[in-house]
Structure 1
Amino acid sequence: MDHFLYRDGVLHAEDVPVTEIAAAVGTPFYCYSTATLERHFRLFDDALEGMDHLVCYAMKAASNQAILRTLAALGAGMDVVSGGEYARAKAAGVPGERIVFSGVGKTEEEIAAALSGGIRQFNVESEPEMAAISAVASRLGREAPITIRVNPDVDAKTHAKIATGKSENKFGIPISRARDVYALAASLPGLKVVGIDVHIGSQLTQLAPFEAAYRKVAELTETLRADGHDIKRLDLGGGLGIPYERSNTAPPLPVEYGAMVKRELGHLGCEIEIEPGRLIAGNAGIMVSKVIYVKSGEDREFLIVDGAMNDLIRPAMYEAHHDIVPVVEAAPGQVPATYDIVGPVCESGDTFAKGRDIAKLEADDLIAFRSAGAYGAVMASEYNTRPLIPEVLVNGDQFAVIRRRPSYEEMINRDSIPEWLEG
């Protein structure tokens, strides 16, 4: 469920007409719903009620300060994967004890910054990283809380580019080597083992892969405890999918996921951490674009819009589907038209949809890309010297620009000219 609904034939973001936002900020732009962000966080938090738990928002999905502050106010932790994301989380007022640091390539500088600023735990991905954390912690006179990410060799049944739990993926250590790696961790100075981490991929639409992975984690927990390790925390990652196509069967609900977690892991008495990103932010955002031209091709009609692959790269990168709807509903009885919906970037890959049925549209009409809140603005670029597009947050009948569109002058002035080219 989201809070982007038609009223009197016009798409609204909560209580604000999308046409009003477009008139104020121009197109294209991203628009997020506070009510949807809050609702989706609470669905996860409520799903784990009765267990000691922390919902850590995976901020790689959407990391604007306004979004982070909205979730932090509800008690969310943050899952970060870079020093920049750590700095963003701290700037949003999230205390270090609610920040989990994931990712396969943490640098010593990032490790030091997190240890100095406060960290709930590092999710360790390899022995070399473990050695680096030990060295930095010892140098700083700190104790680094760690979990070790195990790769359970479970097929997540998702897109190959977002699967992370198979043996051929770069993430984590093979679960078959876990006992040796935990023994190594216990021998290194400056480290405190607090738990186990696992994350098998993103956009999962079935519970079975989660169940298979969590059963292996449950067995490993018992084994490691028998070896003398104090396993008190299980970080289960994220990955629960969202319905990008409204006509498709919906993925499992958070309440169903929570019931499965309790069933598979509840007997262990561990604190549970989960790291949803897409399910919190995905349906909380849309991208709004304007039709520039309607072009007739040899055997098709092209809808050329002012949004492009640099603004929303998921279709080009993952062949991802987004429902695309007119901001102003078609008149009753109007026959839909079929278009290839494309952007203005000079790449054939700048295609959002092929053969898509939508209301007949003309130049200057507005369209909305649904479920664009996750991996939209955060993956955007300035390719073709196209400015990063504005982000807007709606709260009831109010809206605010939370990232403005830079001018061409601002973009160009970020370049530096060497002395030999001056004059």
Structure 2
Amino acid sequence: MDHFLYRHGELYAEDVAVSEIAAEVGTPFYCYSTATLERHFRLFDEALDGMEHLVCYAMKAASNQAILKTLAALGAGMDVVSGGEYARAIAAGVPGDRIVFSGVGKTADEIRATLKGGIRQFNVESEPEMEVINAVALELGVVAPITVRVNPDVDAKTHAKIATGKSENKFGIPISRAKEVYAHAASLPGLKVIGIDVHIGSQLTQLEPFKMAYEKVAALTEELRAEGHEIKRLDLGGGLGIPYTRSNDAPPLPVEYGQLIKDTLGHLNCEIEIEPGRLIAGNAGIMVSKVIYIKEGEDRSFMIIDGAMNDLIRPAMYEAHHDIIPVAEATPGVEKQQYDIVGPVCESGDTFAKERVMDPVGADDLIAFRSAGAYGAVMASEYNSRPLIPEVLVHGDQFAVIRRRPTLDEMINRDTIPEWL
């Protein structure tokens, strides 16, 4: 469910007409719904009622500080994967003891900054990383709380570029070596082992891969406890998918996911952490663009828009589908048209959809890309010297620009010309 609905013949974001936002900020832009963000967080939080838990929002999905503050006000923790994301979370007012640091390439400088600023735990991905965390902790005179990320060799049945739980993926330590690695961690004086971490991928649409991974984690918990390790926290990652089309089968609901966690891990009396990102932010955002031209090709019509692959790269990078709708609702019964929907970047890859059948539009009409709140703005670039597009947050009948569009001069003036030129 989201809060982008037609009303009075045009698309609204909560109680604000999308066309009103476009008139003020220009196109293209991202628009997020506070009500949808809050609703989706609460679905996860309520799904784990009865268990000690923390829902840590995976910031890589959408990391604007306004989004972070919205979720933090509800009690969310944050899952970060870089020093920059950690700094964003702190700037948004999230306390360090609600921030989990994941990722395979943590540097000594990042580790040092987070230990100084406060951290809930590091999810350790390798033995060399473990050694560096230990050294930095000893240097600072502190003890670093860690979990070890185990790779359960479970096929998440998702896109190859976002699968993380198979043996050939770069993430985690093989679960077959977990006891050896935990024994080594326990010998390092700068570390405090507090739990186990697992994450098998993103955009999962079935519960069975989660079940297989969590059953392996449950067995490992019992084995590690038998060897004297205090395993009090299980970080289960995220990955639950969203429906990118209104016609396909819906992925499992958070309440079903929560029940699976209770069924497979509830007997262990561990604190549970989950790290949803896409399901919280994905359907909470749209990208709005304007049609520049309708170009008639030899065997097709091209809808050329002012949004491009640098603004929303998912279709070019992942062959991802986004429902695309007119902002002005079509007249009932109007004949649908077929378009190749493309942007202005000088690459054939700048294509959002081919042979898409939808309500007809013309030059200067607005269109909206649904389910664009996750991995949209955060993956945008300035390719072709196109400025990053604005982000807007709606709250009831109000909206605010939460990241403005830079001017061309601001973008260009970041370059520095050497003296010899």
Counterpart for residue 169 of structure 1? 169
Deviations 1:255-286 (CA, angstroms, capped at 9, x unpaired): 00000000000000000000000000000000
Partner of residue 337, structure 2: 337
Q: Percent identity?
A: 83
What is the alpha-carbon distance in structure 1 between the residues aligned to residue 320 and residue 104 of structure 2?
A: 25
Aligned equivalents of 2:302 and 2:344: distance in 1? 11
- Superimposed CA distance per residue, residues 269-310 of structure 1 (whole angstroms, 9 cap, x where no aligned partner): 000000000000000000000000000111000000000000
Q: What amino acid does structure 2 have at the position aligned with 1:286?
A: I
Aligned equivalent of 2:107: 107
Other-structure match for 1:144: 144
Q: C-alpha offsets along residues 100-119 of structure 1, whole Å, 9 cap, x if unaligned?
A: 00000000000000000000
> Which amino acid is the alignment partner of residue 186 of structure 1?
A
Which runs of structure 2 are paired with 1:146-161 in the superposition (5 Å)?
146-161=146-161
Q: CA deviation at 1:332?
A: 1.3
Partner of 2:365: 365
Which one-letter code corresponds to 1:132 in the other structure? V
Structure 2 residue runs without a partner (length 5+): none
After superposition, give the CA deviation of every residue in 1:218-252 in whole Å (9 maximum; x if it has no partner): 00000000010000000000000000011001000
Q: Which residue pairs with 2:131 in the alignment?
A: 131
Q: Which residue of 2 aligns with 1:235?
A: 235
Deviant stretches of 4+, over 3 Å: none
Amino acid at match of 1:91: A
| Amino acid paired to 1:137 | A
Does 2:393 align with 1:393? yes
Quote the Cα distance in structure 1 between the aligned partners of 2:55 and 2:207: 18
Secondary structure at the counterpart of residue 145 of structure 2 = strand
CA deviation digits over 1:15-69, x for unaligned, max 9? 0000000000000000000000000000000000000000000000000010000
Per-residue deviation at 1:198? 0.0
> Could you say what secondary structure the match of 2:259 adopts?
helix
Structure 1 distance, partners of 2:332, 2:319, is 32
Q: What letter corresponds to residue 177 of structure 2 in structure 1? A: R
Q: Give the Cα–Cα distance (whole angstroms) in 2 for the partners of residues 160 and 100 of structure 1.
A: 25
Task: Give the distance between the partners of 2:97 and 2:26, measured in 1 at CA.
Answer: 40
Q: What CA distance in whole angstroms lies between the structure 2 residues aligned with 1:62 and 1:341?
A: 25
1:3 aligned residue: 3
Question: In the TM superposition, what is the alpha-carbon distance from 1:8 to its structure 2 partner?
Answer: 1.0
Measured after TM superposition, the shift of residue 217 of structure 1 is 0.1
Tell me which residue corresponds to 1:350: 350
2:420 partner SS = helix
* TM-score with structure 1 setting the length: 0.99
Q: Return the letter of the residue paired with 1:401.
A: V
Give the match for residue 402 of structure 1: 402
Query: What's the C-alpha RMSD, in Å, of the aligned pairs?
Result: 0.3
Query: Matches of residues 79-94 of structure 1 in structure 2 within 5 Å?
Result: 79-94=79-94
Size of the alignment, in residue pairs?
A: 421
Tell me what 2:211 maps to. 211
Counterpart AA for 1:111: I
Letter in 2 for 1:71: L
Distance in 2 between residues matched to 1:181 and 1:294, nearest whole Å = 59
The residue that corresponds to 1:251 in the other structure is 251
Q: Tell me the equivalent position of 1:417.
A: 417
* Structure 2: distance between partners of 1:357 and 1:17: 25
Aligned amino acid, residue 23 of structure 2? A
